[in-house]
Structure 1
Amino acid sequence: MKKEDLTFPLHVIVHPFDGFWDMKYENKGKLRVVALIVALVIGAFILQKQYAGFLVNFIDPRTLNSLSDITQILFAFFLWSISNWSVCTLVEGEGKLKDIMMATAYSLVPIVLIYYPTTLLSNVLTQEESAFYYLLNSIALIWSVCLLIVGMMTVHQYKVSKTLVTMFLTILMAAVVIFLMMLLYSLFQQIIDFAANIYTELIFRK
C-alpha cells in the first residue's frame, strides 16, 4: 500500500469537497484503504467496549462479544452502502456502489482518529474530566456524519436538500430490509419447527 493511499483519507476529512471529488473523479480512493478503515473502526468500537475506563464504561464484561460487534458493524456498513445505491439509482444518482462504499468508509476516519486516544485517556480521567471523553466522541460522530453528507453530495452530484432526502430514504430502505430479513427468519424458523414436529410425530408413531 502506497504512502499516498494512507495520507489521502486525512486530506479528505480536512478538505472534504476537494477530497471526495478526487476520490471519485481522480481515482484516488482505494478499496484496500476502505477495508483498512472499516477494520480500524471495528477495532475502535471493540477496544472502547472492553478497555474504556470504568467511569465511562457501563457495559457488563460478561455480555461482550467481539464476533457480534464485527458482524453488526460490517452489516451496517454494507446495508447502508447497498441501500443508498438502490435509492440513488432511482433518483438519478451518479455514484456507483464502489463510490458509495469508499465515501462511507472515508467518512469514518474521524472515529478512528479520536476513539483510540479517548479510550486510553478514559483510564486516567477523573469523574469531573469524563465530560471531555463524551465531548470528543461526540465530535468524532458529528464530524463523520458531516463528512458522509458531503461525500454523498459529491458522489451523486446532488444538492444539499436532495442529499438529505436520499439519506433519509436510505435509512427507510435499510429499515425495510431489516424488517424483511426478520420476517424471513421468523418464517424459516416456523418451517423448521413444523418439520421437526412432523418428524417427531412420525418417530413416535413407529
Structure 2
Amino acid sequence: MIDLSDQQPFASGGNRHCYRHPLEPNKCVKVMRAGRIAELRARAPWYKRLTGSARFDDNLREQAGYNQRALRNQGPDSPVWFHLARWYGLQQSTRGRAAVTQLILDEKGRPAPTLERYLQKHGLDTSIRAALERFTQWLLETEVLTKNILPHNLVVEVRRGAPELVVIDGLGRSSQLLFPEWLGVSRRHYIRRRIQRMWRRIHWEVSDKRLTWKEAEHRST
C-alpha cells in the first residue's frame, strides 16, 4: 500500500492527480480524481456506458496502452524505453488504485518540465526541434502506438546537455479499431497521422493563438 495521506500532487490533469512516490522518489503515482469516473460515465452516450466503468478509468486505459504489441516482452535495455516512461503496474494507495510509472526528473532532481512549458519559455528553438525529430524517428522505428500526442503529455529530459522527449501519458490507440495494433500498413499510417497532428499542435502552441486549437485544427484538415 502506497501511503499518500501526507502527500500533495506535484501535477494534476483533468482526470488524475500525480504524486511523487513517498518511498521511491523516481516513481510517479497517478490516482483518479475522486468521483471522476462516475462523472465521466454519466456524461457519456448511453452506448458507451454499456461497457461499464473500466473505459472511463485512465489507469486501466494506461495499463492497456503499456500492454500493446510493441511493448510486450521488451527488456530493460530495449530502445522502446528511450522516449517512454517505464511502467511499474497498478498498485493500491491510500487514495485508491494507482498507476505507477517512472518519474522523469530534471537536472536538479525535480519532475521534468512538460514540452508545453518548454515551448512557452523557449519557443520552438533549434535544440527542441532536433529533439522532436529524434522522437519522431523513434515512433516510426519502434511503432509504439500513442493517442494524439499533446505537449503536456511529453516531458523534456536533459541527457548529455541535450533535451530529449519522453512520453508520460497518452499511450495506446485513440481509435477502437484493432487494425493499427495488428496490421503493419495500418499501424504505420496511424503513427504518421499522429506525428502530423503533433506538429500542427506544436506550431499552434508557439503561435499567437488568435484561433482556438479546435479552430486551427479544423482549418488544417
Is the structural similarity TM-score above 0.5?
no
Determine which structure has greater relative contact order: mean sequence separation of CA pairs < 8 Å that are 6+ residues apart, divided by chain length. Answer: 1
TM-score of the superposed pair, with normalisation by structure 2: 0.25
Higher helix share: 1
Is the radius of gyration larger for structure 1 or structure 2? 1
